[in-house]
Structure 1
């Protein structure tokens, strides 16, 4: 949690696969400076949370966990509007949360979200054994310091994908695609045009299927997967804070 002495709104952060919420310290700091109090858990099997490393057997249970955090945030900040921000796998989780608990939210921000057809899942599940190949850190950001910090972070998972997690991810993507539309919930979608981890074309299909009538999209030329850690991160964070303030002002 990143508290604010006089909060005007609540923001809930939802991190991506293999990482942890500590990588969002700078995002939280910007949001707090702009009037928010910020909450964010480490998902099961991630960071400092319990569970077998990066094993998620059921994404609906992760949504349940996030709902508990949201309930605490709402209890501690009664009456304040809440915005949910999800990155990558966190975008999958945040989208499913919005489908199930949209009445909790004043807005939804999706950063490089895994939605629609995520070919990497299908490709890995087709293999008899998932290879133990670390992520190419150059795909994260144009700033080499970002990749170096990621590689040195002991709370980041540097091993192979786990089959139960991929199967559960596959299921929740199908459930998201089959769910009713988000309707008039304000949604901001930010994505790097040169994202090779979660290709723009794949996410676009998933975004279009959400039925969000108040969707704003921002695609950043040259940016890679982690737009909050990109060389134009100040621009991205300004866009996000402006959206958060607008929908939860």
Structure 2
């Protein structure tokens, strides 16, 4: 598997740790955007596929996540996270001038990637959204009225049909296993509304993938957001039986092959 190196920069609210996977002479840059509570280190196998496909791969641990600074999973304004993401994109463009940039966001990372595309779409060649939190999210709707956030651990069986994925998730010390923070829920509500209001991604080629059996981010909820942002070049694929983390599902090879085929089509 391709090895990664880490680098650190001053983010909007503290030090941000980012990763880079590279080998040979890349033909595009892929920016990975991870989901809530997790970190980019879980995406090594995705990066490996992309590097073998011709990418230099990079991405940050968001503020309050993984190896980055900040109170755990505390995000008061998602525009700050988008700004940190832009720093990573600009670093990649500076290191590899002229390479097309593909952004790939999962779950909350799909929300961030969509918002990034709305704000900075001109720097992207393509966008991939995996089980994105868009439109509405039942978790936000359930927690927003509450003063105290319930401390209920995630049911890891909802991540993937592969039980090893849930086991690794539970044992990962860099993953947040505690409750949501109320300011984070409020910020999620704000950014979901902002994305819906901002609207279409225009001509940006976009590939949306989702597990049909996803109980964490329900496809029917995401659909409302997809219809709000979809642009002129939009492709989607829903996988029967697949749960939330399609890049970690039992058919992960199929999913990643679909992603690289989409990238090939765009780069041609």
Q: TM-score range by the shorter chain?
A: over 0.9
Q: Counting strand residues as a fraction of each chain, which structure ranks higher?
A: 2
How much does 1:119 deviate? Answer: 1.7
Aligned-partner SS, 2:127:
strand
Give the 4+ runs in structure 1 shifted more than 6 A: none
**Partner residue, 1:235:** 254
Please state how far the C-alpha of 1:130 moved relative to its aligned partner: 1.1
Q: Which residue of 2 aligns with 1:101?
A: 120
Shift of 1:180: 3.8
**SS of alignment partner, residue 143 of structure 2:** helix
The 8 Å contact of residues 83 and 248 in structure 1, kept in 2 or not, is answered as no
Structure 1 residue 128 displacement after superposition: 3.0
**Superposed CA offset, 1:94-144 (max 9, x none):** 000000000010000000000001121011112231110000000000000
CA distances 1:22-60 after superposition (whole Å, capped 9, x unpaired): 000000000000000001110000000000000001100
Contact 1:11 1:85 in 2 (8 A): yes
- Hey, what does 1:195 align to over in structure 2? 214
Q: What is the CA-CA distance between 1:67 and the residue it aligns to? A: 0.3
Superposed, 1:1-20 pairs within 5 Å as: 1-20=20-39
Report the counterpart of residue 4 of structure 2 in structure 1.
none
After superposition, residues 68-107 of structure 1 pair within 5 angstroms as: 68-107=87-126
Residue 168 of structure 1 pairs with residue 187 of structure 2:
yes
Matches within 5 A, 1:219-234: 219-234=238-253
User: Would the aligned equivalents of 2:147 and 2:182 in 1 still touch at CA under 8 Å?
Assistant: no
1:211 to partner: Cα distance: 3.5
SS at match of 2:229: coil
Length-normalised TM-score, structure 2: 0.92
Q: What's the TM-score, normalizing by structure 1?
A: 0.98
SS of match in other structure, 2:21:
coil
Shift of residue 213, structure 1, vs aligned partner: 1.5
Q: Choose the corresponding residue for 1:209, options 228, 232, 238.
A: 228
Q: 1:212 deviation in Å?
A: 1.3
Q: CA deviation at 1:191?
A: 0.1
Structure 1 CA distance for aligned equivalents of residues 199 and 130 of structure 2:
21
**Partner residue of 2:153?**
134
Counterpart CA distance in 1 for 2:206 and 2:169 is 28
CA contact (8 A) 1:194 1:221 kept: yes
Distance 1:230 1:80 in 2: 30
Q: Does 1:218 align with 2:228?
A: no
Residues in 1 aligned to 2:157 and 2:175: alpha-carbon distance in whole angstroms? 16
Larger mean CA deviation between 239-248 and 67-76 belongs to 239-248
Correspondent of 1:34 among 53, 65, 73: 53
The answer to whether the Cα contact below 8 Å between 2:199 and 2:228 also exists between their aligned partners in 1 is no
Q: Give the distance between the partners of 2:28 and 2:221, measured in 1 at CA.
A: 32
Alignment of 1:38-77 (within 5 A): 38-77=57-96
Q: Distance in 1 between matches of 2:23 and 2:264?
A: 15
State the distance in 1 between where 2:242 and 2:210 align: 8
User: Structure 2: how far apart are the matches of 1:226 and 1:215?
Assistant: 21
Q: What are the ranges of 5 or more consecutive residues in structure 2 without an aligned counterpart? A: 1-19
Task: Provide the rounded CA distance (Å) in 1 between the counterparts of 2:34 and 2:46.
Answer: 11
Q: Any gaps of 5 or more consecutive residues in structure 1?
A: none
